[in-house]
Amino acid sequence: MSATTGTTDVAGTAAAELVVLLAEDGTPCGTAPKAEVHHADTPLHLAFSCWVLDGAGRTLLTRRADAKKTWPGVWTNSFCGHPGPGESPAEAVLRRAGDELGADVTAVAAALPDFRYRAVMADGTVENEVCPVFTASLADPGAPLAPSPLEVGDWRWVDVAELRAQVARDPRPFSPWMLLQLPQLRLP
């Protein structure tokens, strides 16, 4: 297994997940351990965001686990993550679907390939990402989800039109990146 995905190395020890650091023009310029990247002066880095959709016009929302370093306990799109060195964002979507949701996804499509944002938490922690946004479907829509409790505190399917109405009424329960992505996405 690969150290870049934060899994296990050949010796069987836990390896640190690395994120790809980016220059201001979006080109890779190094790596850093994910555990050390998010702070008050977070460097620009590569991420991705994915919206899982079903055939009934719904999207899967997840509430971030309370133990997450950034935006714990907030509702967000289906899942997010960081590609490792040498891994494309689309490949990372396929990997992280299993890690976070305990499910495989299919029909992965770039929806906002140039999305970039910066957001600051109340405690001063910053997200600073070039974050291509994807849509996908569950590979087996009938299979139960088995989200990782380290990643997901809760989840629910919500009609996209109802989500837009909820956000208009009260955006506070939602992640800043979700709030920026939703108006730009062409969802059912």
Question: Over 11-69, what HEC string results?
Answer: CCCECCCEEEEECCCCCEEEEEEHHHHCCCCCCCEECEEEEEECCCCEEEEEEECCCCC
Q: Is 129 labeled as catalytic in the residue annotation?
A: yes
**Which pTM value belongs to this model?**
0.91
The size of the chain, in residues, is: 188
Instruction: Mark the ranges of the chain whose per-residue pLDDT is less than 50.
Output: 1-14
- The reported pLDDT for the residue numbered 188 is 77
Q: What integer pLDDT is reported at residue 9 of this predicted model?
A: 38
Query: Spelled out in words, what is the top-level CATH class assigned to the domain 37-184?
Result: alpha beta
Catalytic residue among 17, 87, 129, 151: 129
Q: Where are the domains of the chain?
A: 37-184
Q: Please name the residue that has the structure tokens 């997200």.
A: 127
Distances (CA, A) of 1 to 5, 56, 94, 95, 116: 8, 37, 16, 12, 30
For residue 18, give Cα distances in angstroms to 3, 84, 85, 110, 145: 8, 6, 7, 23, 27
Q: Which of 80, 87, 100, 131 is catalytic?
A: 80
Which pLDDT value is given to residue 16? 86
Q: Is 173 helix (H, G, I), strand (E, B) or coil?
A: coil
Q: What span, in angstroms and rounded, lies between the C-alpha atoms of 178 and 175?
A: 5
